[in-house]
Structure 1
Amino acid sequence: MKDLKFEQKRSLSRLEAADQLTALAAALRQGGDAELEVGLSKLSLRIPDDLRSEIEIEVGDGEIELEIEFKWPTAPTRTAPSQAVAGTKVAARRRKSAPAKPGRSSTGTNRSKSAKRSATKTP
């Protein structure tokens, strides 16, 4: 069962259809909570930054049917990692792939075993 379903069927002029699409486009561009006029009422929708779309065109029986569908989850979604975090990962990969300086190992394996043991012993 759906949480909510609204469906409206009516005849429109080309200009009225364009006005509806323009209002929908403005709501999509604005994002956040957007209000759309639907008949005599207003519908308030939370529109996220990312959504899925489907466009379907059917031609047959002397008619053309054009459906434009947008979908998004009702619950907030996770955001992508910030550029700073992504940049840190790239820098870390570069450090790993960079050639080691002469006389030094990039993994720290040149330390002697006795130095490692003395560093872990407690007095």
Structure 2
Amino acid sequence: MKDIKFEQKDSLTRLEAADQLSALAAALRHGGNAELDFGPGRLSLRIPDELHTELEVEVGDGQIELEIELKWPTAQPGSTPTDSAAAGPDE
């Protein structure tokens, strides 16, 4: 599978930002395959039950920066390539 990057930078009102976060929260709550509308585009993701999270807040240069990072593997549980490669042809 190729690596893919989706990036969007925009100016939003507080309410528009809240709507985007609410849509993301709903997708996280539901899990599985999610479709998220971001501006003119639509992002389709598989969201697993377990995620790695990072929250970062930076204050400086007259600005506050809040980053919320969610990470998870692209492979679904039980489908790792090493599982089938671990057994030899005689096993």
TM-score by length of 2: 0.81
Other-structure match for 1:85: none
User: Could you list the runs of 5+ residues in structure 1 that have no partner in the other structure?
Assistant: 79-123
With a CA cutoff of 8 Å and minimum separation of 6, indicate the structure with the bigger relative contact order.
Answer: 2
Unpaired runs of 5+ residues, structure 2, are 79-91
Runs (4+) of structure 1 exceeding 4 A deviation are none
Bigger radius of gyration among the two: 1
Looking at secondary structure, tell me which structure has more helix per residue.
1
Q: Equivalents in 1 of 2:57, 2:40: separation in Å?
A: 29
Higher strand share: 2
User: What is the Cα-based RMSD across aligned positions, in Å?
Assistant: 1.1
Q: Aligned residue pairs: how many?
A: 77
CA offset digits 1:5-39 (Å, max 9, x no partner): 11111100000000000000000001000000011
User: Percent identical across equivalent pairs?
Assistant: 73
State the AA in 1 paired with 2:16. Answer: E
TM-score by length of structure 1 reads 0.60
| Aligned-pair CA distance for 1:42 | 1.2
Distance 1:44 1:64 in 2: 29
The corresponding residue for 2:61 is: 61
Alpha-carbon offset, residue 41 of structure 1: 1.9
